[in-house]
Amino acid sequence: MEHPFGCVALGLTALAIALLLLTGLLGPSAAQPPVPGGPSWLPPYHLDVRPGAGVVTALLLAAALSGALGLGVAMRELRRGWAPDPGRLTLAGALAALAVVCVPPMGSADHLVYAAYGRLAATGGDPYRDTAATLARDGDPVGVAVEAPWTDVPSVYGPVATAQQWLAARIGGTSVHTTVLVLTLFGAAAFVLTGLLLQRAAGPDRGARARVAILWSLNPLLLFVAVNAGHLDAFALVFAVGALLAVRRSPALAGVLVGLACAAKISLGLYVLALAWGLRGRPRAPAALIGSALVVGIATYLPVGLGAFDQVRENSRLVSLAVPLRLVLGPLESALGHDSARTVIGLLGWLLAALVVWLLARTAARARPAAMAHVTRESAAAAALLSLAWLLTTPYSLPWYDVAAWAPLVLLAPSALDGLLLARSTLLVCAYIPGRVVPLPDAVDTLQRTLRGTVGPWAGAAILVAVVLVSRRAGGPPRLRSPRSPAARRW
C-alpha cells in the first residue's frame, strides 16, 4: 500500500464521528440540552441514558483529539501525494453530515436561542429588542427552553439569519424539537453545498479535490461544531464561498452573495476585503463588488432598522476566555478601568491581526494553487489569511467561528497555515467541551476552567509565537517594493 497512513487518517476520522454520534445518542447531558416537543418520529433521536458530565466530556474530548490527529495525519499524507477518490469522500462527508444531524445538538445551547429568535419574529416580536424571556413570560415553550446565558440577550445576527430562524419557527411552531431540526438541516445542507462549491473551485486535479473532501466535508471538528451543534456559521458561510466562485465572472453577483453572507453574520465582511484584493488591477470591478454588496446590505437591514446593530456593539466589548488577549485583560482593567481596557483590547486585537497578516503573507502567497483561476486563487488566499489572522487575535472567539478560515484554506496548496489552523481549532473545540452553562462535578469543572482559562490563552499565545517562526522559515515578511515593480503585485 503506497500511503498506509492515509488509511490511518480515515480510520481516526471515522472513530471521531462514531464517538460524536455515540455521545449524542446517550441523550441529554452536560453537553446536550433537552429539545422538548415532537413528533418523536422525526430526528434528532436519542436514548434516555442521562450520562454523567465526566462521561460525555471524556467521549467528546476523545472525539475531538482523534479527529484532530486524523486531520494532522491526512495533511501530511496529502503533502506526500496521497489522493484518495474525492467523489467517495464527498459522499461520505454528506452522509456524516446527515448522521450528526440525526442526534441532538451538543456543545452549547445556542440553537435554543436561535429557535427563540425565530419564534419572536414569527409571532410579531422583534428579536433585536425582545428576548427569550419575553416569550417565557407568556409561557411560550420555545422561550422557556432557552438556557443561560442567553435568556435575556437580543439577537446579534443579521436579517438573513433572522429570516432563516423565522422560517424554522414557522415550520416548527411551538415544538422546540422540530424548529431545531429545521435549523440544523439548514446548516447541514449549507455545509454539504459548501463542500460541493469548494470541489468546483478546486478544479479537476484529484489531489486538490481530495484535500477539499478530507479537510472540509469529512472534517470531524467541523462536523461537530458547525453541523451537529447547529450554529449559524455554516449557513452564513455558503454565501461567502459562492462569492469566491462567482467573483471571476461576475463581481456584481459576488457582491450580492457576500452581502447576503454579511447580512447573516457581520464578521464575514473580511471576505469583502479578500474579494476586492482578488479583483485588484481590474478597472471598476472592485466598485461593482462593493456597490452590489452595499445594496444588499441596505435592502436587508432597512426593514429591521439600525437597532439590529445594538447587540453587535455590545459584543464588540467582550473578551472570551480561551484567547491570548485574555492574558492582558486583568492588568489593563486594573490600570485603565473596565471600559477603557475593553477599548484598548479591541484595538490590540486589530493591530495583532494586521501583524499576523504581514508575517504570514509570504507563506500564503506560496500556497496559492497555480491551476486555479487567478481571481479565485487570489481571493481564496486573501480570505484564508485574513480569516486566520482574525481568529488568532480577536478578543472574542468561539470554535465554530473557524469555518470562515477552513473553507478558503482547503483550496490552497498544503502549507504551514494548515497546522496553525488545526492547532487553533483543536484548542478551541477542546476548551468548550462539554459546553452547556450548567453546574458540573468538581473534577469536570476544574478541567473545563483549566482548559478555557489557563491552557487556552497560553496555547493561543504559543500559536502566535509559531506564526513568527513560520514567517522566519518562509523568509520573513514580504519586503516593500516600488509599486511599478512586478514583485509589488505579489503578497
Tens of pLDDT, residues 123-147: 999 999 999 999 999 999 999 999 9
For all residues of the chain together, what is the average pLDDT? 94
- State how far the Cα of 69 lies from the Cα of 363, in Å rounded to an integer: 23
pLDDT at 1: 56
Tell me if residue 255 falls in helix, strand or coil.
helix
Residue with cell 436519542: 46
In the predicted model, residues of the chain with pLDDT beneath 50 are 480-491
Helix (H) or strand (E) holding 9: helix 4-25
Collapsing DSSP to helix, strand or coil, 277 comes out as: helix
pTM: 0.95
- Residue 479 is predicted with a pLDDT of 63
Query: Which residues are CB-neighbours of 6 under 8 A, at least 6 positions away?
Result: 73, 74, 77, 82, 84
The answer to whether 386 and 28 are in contact (CB under 8 A) is no
Q: Which amino acid, residue 46?
A: H
Phi, psi of 216 (to 5 degrees): -115, -70
- Strand, helix or coil for residue 113: helix
CA distances from 143 to 39, 125, 413, 487 (A): 19, 12, 46, 57
Going from N- to C-terminal start, the domains of the chain cover 4-107+182-489
| Alpha carbon distances (Å) from 343 to 143, 339, 387 | 33, 6, 21
pLDDT for the residue numbered 490: 36
- Residue 247 amino acid letter: V
- In this prediction, residue 385 carries a pLDDT of 98
DSSP labels, 53-83: HHHHHHHHHHHHHHHHHHHHHHHHHHHTT--
Q: Which amino acid is at 469?
A: L
